[in-house]
Chains A and B, each alone.
Chain A
Amino acid sequence: GAVVSQHPSRVICKSGTSVKIECRSLDFQATTMFWYRQFPKQSLMLMATSNEGSKATYEQGVEKDKFLINHASLTLSTLTVTSAHPEDSSFYICSATLLDRASTDTQYFGPGTRLTVL
């Protein structure tokens, strides 16, 4: 149980285009979903926290107009990288926490999406 999927797993796009990444909790309802960015051989950097039906909370230094997050339901959150540039190339990972109160401190991670901007 507690499976999180991401789509696509890999995307290559041209500079200036927008890319949407989906994060789904497959077998549970998620109270909160998180979006991370991971640079090669580095740790995960939290970008934003999103709750269903409300605006995402962005970490300091993350441009909310560039990284649009929509959390439309308890099982789906999307991250749109708008007007992508080569420096946005990275590994984007989402995670979700269970609606079950006893386990709300555990995050379950998706497999990640590799974005390459040419």
Chain B
Amino acid sequence: GNSVTQMEGPVTLSEEAFLTINCTYTATGYPSLFWYVQYPGEGLQLLLKATKADDKGSNKGFEATYRKETTSFHLEKGSVQVSDSAVYFCALSGNQGAQKLVFGQGTRLTINP
């Protein structure tokens, strides 16, 4: 079955540091890939997504590229801010329209000033 493996946290960085959170997946067919962010006390928000190989999703300075050859969708940001502190979830959905999401375990990110 489909699965998502994320880099284990927690991750602690200083402000303006470079961020990478690794995500790899196992899936049949051509899934869509997502990064969701959960700020403290809130629900999940879609951060970015990519629907086919080599697509790059980007939002709020975050980027992730759908790499089919390495089955990866690593999240990157060049310069993090304190406000980026949150839990980040990598997820995939099946290749037939609205399918249930399979989530990674989540990575807690803390940015210190």
Residues of A whose CB lies within 8 Å of any CB of B are 4, 6, 31-32, 34, 41-44, 46, 49, 93, 95, 97, 101, 104-112
B103 within 8 A of A: yes
| Bound: A104/B94 CA distance, A | 11
Residues of B whose CB lies within 8 Å of any CB of A are 32, 34, 36, 42-46, 49, 51, 89, 93, 97-101, 103-106, 108
Chain B contact residues, majority secondary structure: strand
| Bound: A34/B93 CA distance, A | 13
Chain A-chain B contacts (Cβ-Cβ < 8 Å), number: 55
A43-B106, A109-B36 given; A104·B42 CB < 8 A: no
A32 to chain B minimum Cβ distance, whole angstroms, is 5
| Bound: A112/B43 CA distance, A | 5
**Contact present for A31 and B98 (CB under 8 Å):** yes
| Bound: A43/B90 CA distance, A | 10
Which B residues are CB-close (under 8 A) to A32?
A: 98
Chain A contact residues, majority secondary structure: strand
A65 to chain B minimum Cβ distance, whole angstroms, is 21
**Contact present for A105 and B97 (CB under 8 Å):** yes
List, sorted by A's number, 14 A–B pairs whose CB atoms are closer than 8 Å: A31-B98, A32-B98, A41-B108, A44-B101, A44-B103, A95-B101, A101-B97, A104-B98, A105-B51, A105-B98, A105-B99, A106-B34, A107-B101, A109-B43
Q: Which of A34, A93, A109, A112 has the most CB of B within 10 A?
A: A109
Residue of A nearest to B34 (CB): A106
B113 to chain A minimum Cβ distance, whole angstroms, is 24
